[in-house]
């Protein structure tokens, strides 16, 4: 079974959003086009409480994109984004939600960030996505969404660690930092991740 995972295609990551990914809205058309080619489509959603530890506003004297030590791990501080129940946290209206069978929310624990769709950043808690995929009989995962150098990348790493085969739909991904993403892409290719275009599905 082939599964498409739509990562964090939310309003706050779109142009004009609280944490805009350059060209973020460019992923919507290729993702919608791709959905009909998969047995299963699931989505992920950043879903933070207002007092989330990753928000710079919750650290006196800190600015967005500062880096702090958090429980012995490096943590980038972000602008407030994808706050639970806010318009910014909603999936983009242009996404064909009717084709999405399940939505997995992450980043709900105020004490730790969660880039990956499978685990929090310290691998203390699972989102349940890996178990859900196995229960559905899914072994081949295809990913698109935002942002390539953060949530997409860490989801891929965890999926590989769980034994899934992973393919990235290249034209359905945008990154915060294209140069950083280029280096990560090479790392993932070295680990066996395939990169295809939506038209090649």
Residues known to be catalytic: 8, 106, 151
Contact between residue 31 and residue 97 where contact means Cβ atoms under 8 Å apart? no
What are the C-alpha distances in Å from 120 to residues 92, 125, 155?
23, 6, 10
Q: Can you tell me the distance from the alpha carbon of 86 to that of 162, in angstroms, rounded to the nearest whole number?
A: 32
CB atoms under 10 Å from CB of 48, counted, come to 26
What are the C-alpha distances in Å from 196 to residues 120, 142, 171, 189?
27, 10, 8, 12
Q: Can you tell me the distance from the alpha carbon of 48 to that of 89, in angstroms, rounded to the nearest whole number?
A: 9
What residue has token string 């939310």?
Answer: 10
């Amino acid at each position: 079974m082939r599964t498409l995972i739509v990562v964090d295609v939310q309003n706050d990551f779109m142009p004009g959003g609280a944490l805009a990914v350059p060209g973020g809205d460019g992923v919507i058309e290729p993702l919608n086009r791709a959905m009909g080619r998969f047995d299963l489509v699931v989505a992920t959603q950043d879903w933070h409480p207002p007092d989330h530890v990753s928000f710079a506003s919750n650290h006196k004297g800190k600015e967005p994109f500062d880096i702090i030590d958090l429980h012995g791990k490096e943590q980038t501080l972000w602008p407030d984004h994808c706050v639970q129940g806010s318009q910014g946290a909603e999936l983009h209206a242009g996404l064909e939600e009717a084709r999405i069978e399940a939505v997995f929310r992450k980043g709900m624990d105020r004490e730790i960030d969660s880039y990956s769709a499978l685990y929090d950043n310290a691998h203390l808690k699972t989102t349940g996505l890996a178990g859900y995929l196995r229960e559905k009989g899914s072994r081949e995962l295809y990913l698109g969404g935002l942002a390539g150098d953060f949530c997409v990348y860490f989801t891929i790493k965890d999926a590989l660690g769980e034994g899934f085969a992973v393919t990235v739909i290249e034209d359905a991904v945008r990154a915060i930092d294209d140069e950083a993403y280029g280096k990560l892409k090479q790392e993932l290719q070295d680990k066996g991740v395939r990169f295809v275009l939506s038209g090649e599905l």
